[in-house]
Amino acid sequence: MRWWLVPLLLALLSPPLLAADLERVRIGVHEQSTRLVIETTRSLRAGIEQPAADRMELTVPARLAAAPNIAAPRGLIRSITAEPLGQGRTRLHLTFDRPTRVARAFALAPGDSGLHRFVIDVEPDATIRRAAATPPVEPPPVAAETAASAPPPAATVAPETRPRAKPPPRAPERPPAIAATSAPPTAAGETAASQPPVPANAPRRPVVVIDPGHGGVDPGAIGPSGVFEKDIVLAIGLALRDQLLADGRVEVVMTRETDRALTLARRLQIAAEARADLLLSLHADSLPNTPSFSGASVYTLSQQPSDSDAARKAREENAADERLEVITVQEDETVQAILTSIMRTSTTHRSVRAADKMAGELRRVTPMINRERRSANFVVLRSLHTPSVLVELGYLSNPADEARLQDPAHHQRLADALFRSVTAYFQLE
């Protein structure tokens, strides 16, 4: 053989040799969920799309084996079929016996079989069940959903080690919201806050979605004392929820009420499904190399950041899905067109008005940074019809801010200020 043919032959032979085979699909039924395990000859992650609440399509970058072992449907899964797509890809089509969502998705190293495993847990979608119990309205669009988060303890899966740290001390009808995101959506559990009973003929109350940032395997910022941002913002979000529910003039939906992970796209989807009139995303900042930086700030959406620090913050928050092992994709022209549409709608003006109310009320109870009103291209604020505001409640890297953010009395002061700003925004005084 001529020596110059060797590289050519290797190039021709490499793709088939390196291609993965989809050998087996297993289904396990657990108390609250159904687990799908895709077993392949190489490590990979499937693309997950949910065109309807009771259907799912999984695009697996592996060719279908000559005699694949596809488990019979059970649990929430009504049917499962495999479709070879060519070019080393397979699509799995699933239908479910009720509305479902992806609770977790993660990869596992080979077990005794020697096959790599990609695991997807699906569970009933409580958000859709809740919507079905309300008076009929035009159904909102459902954002596409894909997977991420950490595996729960299970008989065949070792639980993931999570970071540990000490917790902090104890309107009129409008079009449905449309979420614009460049990150593949996912889900992880969330619950709607309990609402006081409303007479059937009562006028529609404004819907406020409270979004405590981060959660689960994503702790967010970590203070010098070891306190997690995810715990701080959850405590304040729950205090605000309780105050709004006690007042009774708005409906409240929480993206999470426990220490659970959600992707940015899932947070947007919850707001869309709730037909939210306001999305309030709660966070705490950190600049470990600049501990003198302190104070709260309020952000709205813009394609161009208001300043370099706003750009930094948007990059950090938009990268949150990487901590959940979500595979992000590049923004395409469609996403950019939607962002442009958002900026041209009254949603932007309403977001700015809500942010101004919040900055004014927060200023009364906590230190604020210079130029406290800022803007940047945050994924979680990309809603076409829902005014959306992201609030940074302080810097955990600053000793004074960290101490305040661990004080339950300060939690209540912040919740009071946000409560006043919400009621002022909706002119409910």
First to last CA, the chain: 87
**Tell me: the pLDDT tens digits for 11-55?**
433 344 457 899 999 999 987 889 999 999 988 777 888 888 889
Mean confidence (pLDDT) of the chain: 76
Residues 44, 118 contacting (CB under 8 angstroms)? yes
Q: What's the confidence (pLDDT) of residue 363? A: 96
**Tell me: the pLDDT tens digits for 301-323?**
876 776 766 667 667 666 665 44
pLDDT greater at residue 9 or residue 23: 23
Indicate the range of 18-27, 72-81, 161-170 predicted with least confidence: 161-170
Q: What's the confidence (pLDDT) of residue 230? A: 94
- Does residue 190 carry a pLDDT above 70? no
**Tell me: the pLDDT tens digits for 243-277?**
999 999 999 999 999 999 888 888 888 998 888 99
Q: What's the confidence (pLDDT) of residue 152? A: 42
Average pLDDT over residues 125-150: 43
Q: What's the confidence (pLDDT) of residue 16? A: 42
Q: What's the confidence (pLDDT) of residue 176? A: 37
CA distance 318 to 328: 10
pLDDT greater at residue 59 or residue 363: 363
Share of the chain above pLDDT 70, in %: 68
Q: What's the confidence (pLDDT) of residue 196? A: 54
- Does residue 89 carry a pLDDT above 60? yes
pLDDT greater at residue 122 or residue 166: 122
**Tell me: the pLDDT tens digits for 412-428?**
999 999 999 999 999 87
- Does residue 357 carry a pLDDT above 90? yes
- Does residue 227 carry a pLDDT above 90? yes
pLDDT greater at residue 224 or residue 165: 224
Strand order in 368-376's β-sheet? 251-254, 207-212, 278-285, 388-395, 296-301, 368-376
Q: What's the confidence (pLDDT) of residue 131? A: 41
Indicate the range of 323-327, 338-342, 372-376 predicted with least confidence: 323-327
- Does residue 92 carry a pLDDT above 90? yes
- Does residue 57 carry a pLDDT above 70? yes
pLDDT band for 229, please (50, 70, 90 cuts). very high
Q: What's the confidence (pLDDT) of residue 429? A: 53
Q: What's the confidence (pLDDT) of residue 353? A: 93
**Where do the domains of the chain lie, and which CATH numbers do they carry?**
19-124 (2.60.40.3500), 207-425 (3.40.630.40)
Q: What's the confidence (pLDDT) of residue 192? A: 52
Indicate the range of 31-45, 113-127, 331-345, 373-387 predicted with least confidence: 331-345
Q: pTM (2 decimals)? A: 0.54
- Does residue 129 carry a pLDDT above 90? no
Average pLDDT over residues 114-120: 90
- Does residue 140 carry a pLDDT above 60? no
- Does residue 161 carry a pLDDT above 90? no
